[in-house]
Amino acid sequence: MPQNDTNLAVPNGCPKLIILCENSLETTANGQATISHEGLHLVGNRDVAVSLRSTQRKTSIIGIDFSPTGAFPMFGIPMHKTANSVFQWDSVVGSLGRETWDTIQNLASTAQRVAFIQTQLDRLLDKNNSRNNRLIDFCVKNLEQTNGRMSIRELVQQTGYTRRYLDLLFKQYVGFSPKVLAGIFRFQKFYRKWAEGQPFDILKEEIYDYYYDQSHFTKEFKRMTGYSPQRFSLKVANEFGRRLLLG
């Protein structure tokens, strides 16, 4: 990975499965560094940015984003226990994780590896499909479609459930409360525009549709990236983050 790039991965509301096929990866969040070696790793949902570094040799990674509620039905781990953390996959799924990695190492192409992982994930989903929950799917869909502008009060009114119950449900399925997830979706609205090349200056009129004021936007943006919007847009080289978002 390029040493002159910030290599920043920001919150997007999705837990991830990372397959490190070659090289190790050092991730740093909130000042704490974690080194992940070759293998499969479950990354819990995050509400802070992560910087990534690798040694100067070829690095091969396959990354899979689950939907915000997609990991719990497969793995059955309360997502709040995985938030802002990384786990070896075999500690989550046992022998299936070791079998998956052994097979991946013997496959020649990325396409074959992705197809095999998809098969394994389908098996887990078929096995645990009873963990799906239509209420949480409804809530997350509404927050996502409104880019986080739907208030928690509206969710309470539309679902008929208390805020406390929704908080508990979100922590189990998503890892965070609906308020935190809504903040991530709001942030992503502006981060995506940065990734597409639009300067923040021309987005100022839109800010007040999503945040109380400029100070609120700056505070939330800095929490998600570690930088103020102005410093991020002018001084941070994050081509890795741009490609990660836009594909």
pLDDT at residue 3 above 80? no
Proportion of the chain above pLDDT 90, given as a percent: 56
Per-residue model confidence (pLDDT) at position 129: 67
pLDDT at residue 1 above 80? no
CB 51 within 8 A of CB 87: no
- The pLDDT of 125-149, averaged and rounded, is 89
| Band of pLDDT at residue 229, cut at 50, 70 and 90 | confident
Q: Which long-range contacts (CB under 8 A, 24 or more apart) does 236-239 make?
A: 236/6, 236/8, 237/4, 237/5, 237/6, 238/5, 238/6, 238/7, 238/8, 239/2, 239/5
CB 93 within 8 A of CB 75: yes
Look up tokens 């208030």; give the residue: 151
Output the CA angle 229-232-236, nearest 5 degrees: 175
pLDDT at residue 96 above 90? no
Domain ranges across the chain: 8-130
Q: Pick the closest to residue 59 from 31, 32, 36 (CA basis).
A: 36
pTM: 0.91
User: Among 12-16, 32-36, 87-91, 242-246, whose mean pLDDT is lowest?
Assistant: 242-246
- Average pLDDT of the chain to the nearest whole number: 89
| Band of pLDDT at residue 202, cut at 50, 70 and 90 | low
